[in-house]
Amino acid sequence: SLAVQTFDGIVQVMRGNTDEAEPILLNVLQVNPNQPFVNHSLALVRRAQGDPNAAEQFLSEEIRLHPPAIPARRTLVEVLAEQRRYEDQLIQLKVIASLERPSALTMHSRAQALFNLGRFDEAAAETTRCRTADARYPGCWLLWANVLSKQGKKSEAQAAYQESLRLVDAAKSRRDQ
């Protein structure tokens, strides 16, 4: 059945077996172009094959067919980051933020895009929002350390960096228990 083929194709992608997944997913798409998660999965295949343009096209189709498609938008944010298309990232992140509860992951991604654009004051504000939303999210502390360093606040940057390391160690301890 189509559902079984879809599931099998998605599982193959998750296992990293993109060569096995590709013909299955292309067949599903041919039979039912509206099947959820198939375009997203094919985007992951194309991304793994080093074809970001095709990945972006598949992700755009997934978003068009199945809004709000937050997982596809998150993957698109990653593809755009790899291409250094930070303004386009900000557009997608704004949509994601409008569709979900406040998320440290989204705030961190937005702060990183702003940082990459050299918009350090805005990145600092976003890392502050992120650290307020989830004080235990090490990525926000590390990015804040980088922002502070760019702003010439070396001792504050060092303290934020140390806090990011402490949070990583604390997270490892929680996992190991």
**pTM across the whole model:** 0.87
Count CB neighbours of 158 within 10 A: 13
Q: How do residues 50-95 score in pLDDT, each as one tens digit?
A: 999 999 999 999 999 999 999 999 999 999 999 999 999 999 999 9
Q: Sign of dihedral through CA atoms 92, 94, 99, 100?
A: positive
For residue 171, the model assigns a pLDDT of 87
Flag whether pLDDT at 175 surpasses 90.
Answer: no
The structure tokens 């650290």 sit at 131
For residue 174, the model assigns a pLDDT of 86
| Residue 173: C-alpha distances to residues 106, 166, 169 (Å) | 25, 11, 6
| Average pLDDT of the chain, as a whole number | 95
For residue 93, the model assigns a pLDDT of 97
Flag whether pLDDT at 149 surpasses 90.
Answer: yes
| Residue 37: C-alpha distances to residues 20, 62, 93, 114, 122 (Å) | 17, 7, 20, 29, 34
